[in-house]
Each structure stands twice: as structure tokens, then as C-alpha cells.
Amino acid sequence: MSKERARRRAARQAELDRQRAVAARRAARRRRTHGVLRRLAPRLPDRRTGRLRRLTRSQRSGITVVAMATPTLVWLLVDDLALRVVLSLVLLLALPVLVALTLDRRT
């Protein structure tokens, strides 16, 4: 009885070893193929330059949200058209200054 169990266990172990070897060969082939494709695929140059490149995605998103929400609030809350235009222009001119002051990384 124990010889029979040992024989079945050896057969199961041999089958597991065979499956592991097949999986290892597939994984190695996948890695090689991926490496070849990465070498062959052209890389696009990184065209982001200047100050915005140094900001994180969340910082850029925050700048965009503030830049869109503030004039919207001005146009919703202020009644006089001339004052709306003036405040929108002031916000447009002040936004780069505020971004530089609040997110400056040199300090």
C-alpha cells in the first residue's frame, strides 16, 4: 500500500515539475518578447519642458481646478458686468504669480 502511494506521489510530483518547467519557459519567452518589443518600439521624446514639468499631477490638477472654479464663482456671484471682466482679468494675471509663490520648489 505504501509503495503504491509513493508511486502516485512521485507521479504527481513529476507532473507538477513538468507544469512548472512549462510555465517557466513561457515566462522566460514572454520576458524575452517584451524586451525585444521595448527595444524595437520608438520612444517619443518628452516634450514637457519648463515649470509645469516639475509639478506633480495633483498639483497641475489643482491649478486647473482653481483656474476654472474662481472665474466661474466670480461670474456667478458678481452682478456688474464690468466688475466681472476686471476680476476675471486680474485672476488671469495673478494665477501664475500665485502658482509660483505657493508651489515654488527652490525654498
What is d(CA 99, CA 60) in angstroms, rounded to the nearest whole number? 10
Segments making up each domain of the chain, as ranges: 1-43, 51-102
What is the tens place of the pLDDT at every residue in 50-102? 655 667 888 888 888 988 999 999 999 999 999 999 999 999 899 888 888 88
Q: Determine the pLDDT at residue 96.
A: 84
Beta carbons of 70 and 91 less than 8 angstroms apart? yes
What is the tens place of the pLDDT at every residue in 29-46? 999 999 888 888 787 776
- Output the 3-class SS for 10-31: HHHHHHHHHHHHHHHHHHHHHH
Q: Single out the residue of 92, 97, 90 nearest to residue 82, CA to CA.
A: 90
Beta carbons of 89 and 106 less than 8 angstroms apart? no
